[in-house]
C-alpha cells in the first residue's frame, strides 16, 4: 500500500460522512471508493475508517492504494522522452513508429512497457493509465496517470473538453479559407479491417482547423500546415476528416499520398497539451517541437534548398514560433 493523499478536514466543513467528504473535497468517484473499501485504504486520525463514519473539522484523512502494474504491461527497456513527471502523472513526447499501450496483438515495445521499466529501475511501482492514445505513426505529447485518482480527474477534463490538445498536420492542397470546422460522422469501412470513413450512420466527429501557413511549389496543387483541435476523439479522426475535406495528410498510407521528401509516416504531430493538474488544480501547458522528419518536410515545402534530415527538431516555422515548455 502507498499513500495517495493525506489531508486535514477544513474548518469550513459542514459535517457529514467520510464518503461525502471524499466526494466533495477530493472528487472521488463511486468506482474508486469501491476500490478503497475493498483494500481497506481509508484512515481517519490513524485508525482504519469506513465510508459511513462521520468526519469533523481537524480530522486527518489518509487514503492508501495498493501499488500495482497492470499484468499485461511487461517492463521493457524502451527509449522514452519524458517532458514532465511527478508523483501523479507523466507526460511523454512520443516518436512516430511506436505504440502507446499494448493492444491488438502488440504486447511489447510500447510506451507503457517502457514506463514500467523506467519505474522498475527506480524501485517504484505505478499503474500505467494512458489518458489518450496516438496512432503508431503520429508523433507528439501523450499523458499518463500513475494511479486511478489522477486518471479519473484527467478523464473528467477530457469529457468536459477542459483538456486542451492541438495537432499540427502538413496536408496536400491549400485551403482557401483561413479556418473551418469539419462535422462529419465516422465509421469503420466495410472493405478494410482498420480503416475508417465518413459515414452518415457513424459516430459524431468534429474537427476544427486553422491554416498556419500555405506553401506553393514544389507541389503543383500547393500544400499547407494546419493546426487542429478536436471536439471528439474518434479513431483516425483527423486523418479521415482531412482526407474527406480534400486535404489529405502527406505520408498517410491509408488516407493520403506520398510526401515529396519520402516521409515514412503521416505528417501529424500532437504539438500542445494543456490540463489542470489532478492534485493541485494548477493549469499546466506543454508543447513539443516538430520532429526532424516533419521539419525536413516543412523546409522542402517552404522551398528551402539545403536541409539536413538529421538536423535537430525545431518548433519554429510550421508551428509559428512556439517553443517547448
CA 143 vs CA 88, 93, 167, 228: distances in Å: 11, 9, 15, 18
H helices of 62-110, in order, are none
Q: What is the DSSP letter of 250?
A: B
Residues 6+ apart with CB under 8 A from 122: none
Listed residue (82, 89, 4, 91) closest to 42, CA to CA: 4
Give CA 155 to chain center in angstroms. Answer: 11
Provide Rg for the chain, Cα atoms: 23
d(CA 82, CA 15): 42
C-beta separation of 169 from 242 below 8 A: yes
Catalytic residue check, 10: no
Helix orientation angle between 30-39 and 148-160, rounded to the nearest 10 degrees: 180
Distance CA 262, CA 306 (A): 16
260 three-class SS: coil
C-alpha 185/C-alpha 307 separation (Å) is: 40
Contact 277, 88 (CB under 8 A): yes
Catalytic site residue from 88, 93, 135, 155? 135
C-alpha cell read off for 147: 494511479
Which grid cell sits at 111? 510506451
CA angle 269, 157, 28 (to 5 degrees): 140
Q: How many other C-beta atoms lie within 10 A of the C-beta of residue 198?
A: 17
Q: 230 pairs with which residues across the strands? A: 207
Catalytic machinery residues: 135
Amino acid at each position: 500500500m502507498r499513500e495517495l493523499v493525506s489531508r486535514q478536514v477544513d474548518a469550513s466543513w459542514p459535517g457529514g460522512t467520510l464518503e461525502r467528504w471524499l466526494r466533495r473535497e477530493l472528487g472521488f468517484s463511486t468506482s474508486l471508493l469501491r476500490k478503497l473499501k475493498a483494500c481497506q485504504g481509508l484512515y481517519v486520525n490513524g485508525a482504519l475508517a469506513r465510508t459511513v463514519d462521520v468526519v469533523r473539522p481537524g480530522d486527518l484523512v489518509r487514503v492508501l492504494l495498493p501499488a500495482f502494474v497492470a499484468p499485461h504491461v511487461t517492463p521493457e527497456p524502451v527509449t522514452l522522452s519524458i517532458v514532465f513527471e511527478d508523483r501523479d502523472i507523466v507526460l511523454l513526447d512520443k516518436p512516430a513508429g511506436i505504440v502507446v499501450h499494448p493492444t491488438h496483438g502488440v504486447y511489447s515495445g510500447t510506451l507503457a512497457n517502457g514506463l514500467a521499466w523506467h519505474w522498475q529501475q527506480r524501485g517504484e511501482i505505478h499503474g500505467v493509465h494512458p489518458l489518450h492514445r496516438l496512432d503508431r505513426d503520429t508523433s507528439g505529447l501523450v499523458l499518463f496517470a500513475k494511479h486511478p485518482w489522477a486518471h479519473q480527474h484527467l478523464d473528467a477534463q477530457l469529457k468536459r473538453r477542459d483538456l486542451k490538445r492541438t495537432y499540427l498536420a502538413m496536408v496536400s492542397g491549400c485551403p482557401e479559407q483561413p479556418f473551418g470546422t469539419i462535422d462529419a460522422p465516422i465509421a469503420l469501412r466495410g472493405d478494410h479491417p482498420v480503416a475508417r470513413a465518413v459515414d452518415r450512420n457513424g459516430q459524431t466527429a468534429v474537427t476544427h482547423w486553422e491554416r498556419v501557413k500555405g506553401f506553393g511549389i514544389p507541389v503543383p496543387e500547393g500544400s499547407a500546415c494546419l493546426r487542429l483541435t478536436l471536439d471528439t476523439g474518434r479513431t483516425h479522426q483527423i486523418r479521415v476528416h482531412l482526407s474527406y475535406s480534400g486535404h489529405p495528410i502527406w505520408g498517410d498510407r491509408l488516407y493520403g499520398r506520398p510526401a515529396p521528401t519520402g516521409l515514412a509516416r503521416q505528417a501529424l504531430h500532437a504539438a500542445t497539451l494543456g490540463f489542470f493538474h489532478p492534485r493541485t488544480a494548477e493549469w499546466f501547458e506543454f508543447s513539443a517541437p516538430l520532429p526532424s522528419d516533419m521539419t525536413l518536410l516543412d523546409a522542402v515545402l517552404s522551398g528551402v534548398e539545403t536541409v539536413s534530415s538529421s538536423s535537430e527538431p525545431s518548433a519554429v516555422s510550421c508551428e509559428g514560433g512556439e517553443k517547448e515548455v
